[in-house]
Amino acid sequence: MSTRLQRIKDHILSANQCSEMSALPPSPLTTHVLNTGRGIPAAGMSITLYFLDPTTPAWNRLTTGTTNNDGRCPGLITREAFSPGTYKMCFETGQYWEGLGETCFYPYVEIVFTITDSSQKFHIPLLLSRFSYSTYRGS
């Protein structure tokens, strides 16, 4: 494992802490998942954050969380762990729709993005229906 990846992992929050983050400083990386088919936040969706190790090119899991009742997953990564590089957020959309008793076309959504200036804040919304999704870089 590269030194850079180990530095990130040393600062990552453990799995399932995502929903308990209201007292922590804001994460430099946020998301908001909206079920546009029903017009509601997508609560209870599992999200996994990965970092691409440039020395091996392998995806390394950093943390996993679950969206809260507002469709947000605060605390994905700390400011100290956030560094330039390529990241991936994997949204378990199939499990989410199954939990609602519905089927979907996309069993998961992976959003890959590159951070060049880790001092900035990055917001990655996911707008979701059973047969489509869209995303953009928010602020």
The reply, when asked if residue 4 is annotated as ligand binding, is no
The reply, when asked if residue 32 is annotated as ligand binding, is yes
The reply, when asked if residue 136 is annotated as ligand binding, is yes
Sequential DSSP letters for the chain = --HHHHHHHHHPPPTT-GGG-TTSPPPSEEEEEEETTTTEE-TT-EEEEEEEETTTTEEEEEEEEE--TTSB-TTSS-TTT--SEEEEEEE-HHHHHHHTT---S-S-EEEEEEES-TTS-EEEEEEE-SS-EEE--B-
Q: Which residues are annotated as a binding site?
A: 32, 72, 136
Q: Which residues are annotated as a binding site for substrate?
A: 32, 72, 136
